[in-house]
Amino acid sequence: MQRVFPMAAPRAMAANVLRGVVVFTAIMSVISVATVPASGRWIVALVWIPTFGLLFRVASRMGKVTFEVEGGALQIHGDLFRRNIPLSNLRLSEARHLDLSGEPALAPVIRLGGTALPGYQSGWYRLRNGEKAFVYLTDYTKAIHLPTTLGYSLLLSPDDPQAFLDAVRGAH
């Protein structure tokens, strides 16, 4: 049986910061094109067009991240990243719901690749305890820490953490 869990909604501040970055990027691209000689404008376009595309992708997907339990796997559908992890690779006996403000050792501190906005973190991070983690986190009080046998942990913020944990454990 398929169970889909939306990520806890990002705070409005994350969307506002991202909007500001998109506007800044658009302004900088216009200034760059206006100040660069005609022969170099294609280089400016090669830099700004992909940057704007990535920002647009994150902005359009950050409120639509889902965690899906189906067919013996946990599927994470995110902004820039997706993962399909067989449930047999999850160390479910160690999985738990936690409040990261009370357990700072598991908080993401070093971004290895991904997005970091106030109230929204996604991608690969190093946790304070040194552990590598795949993160989709919006609410520190709704965090799920889910170790895997793959050399990293998952740190996720489903809207209903207990129902998510129950579904993952029940599907295994």
Examine the pLDDT at 12 and tell me if it is beyond 70. no
Distances in Å between the alpha carbon of 161 and those of 42, 100, 137, 155?
47, 13, 12, 11
CA distance 165 to 103: 19
Q: Is the pTM of this model over 0.85?
A: no
Confidence grade of residue 165 (pLDDT, cut at 50, 70, 90): very high
Summarize pLDDT for 22-63 with one digit per residue, the tens.
788 778 877 777 787 877 777 877 887 887 777 777 777 777
Q: Which residue has the higher pLDDT, 54 or 141?
A: 141
**3-state secondary structure labels for all residues of the chain:** CCEEEEECCCCHHHHHHHHHHHHHHHHHHHHHHHHCCHHHHHHHHHHHHHHHHHHHHHHHHCCCCEEEEECCEEEEECCCCEEEEEHHHECHHHCEEECCCCCHHHCEEEEEEEEEECCEEEEEEEECCCCEEEEEECCHHHEEEEEECCCCEEEECECCHHHHHHHHHHHC
CA distance 171 to 35: 58
Neighbours of 164 (CB within 10 A): 24
Examine the pLDDT at 169 and tell me if it is beyond 90. yes
What is the rounded average pLDDT of the residues 54-83? 85
Amino acid 13: pLDDT: 65
Share of the chain above pLDDT 90, in %: 55
Examine the pLDDT at 73 and tell me if it is beyond 80. yes
Confidence grade of residue 132 (pLDDT, cut at 50, 70, 90): very high
Q: Which residue has the higher pLDDT, 117 or 129?
A: 129
CA distance 41 to 49: 12
What is the rounded average pLDDT of the residues 3-21? 78
Summarize pLDDT for 98-121 with one digit per residue, the tens.
999 999 999 999 999 998 888 889
Burial class for 105, CB neighbours closer than 10 Å (0-12, 13-18, 19+): exposed
Examine the pLDDT at 64 and tell me if it is beyond 90. no
Amino acid 160: pLDDT: 96
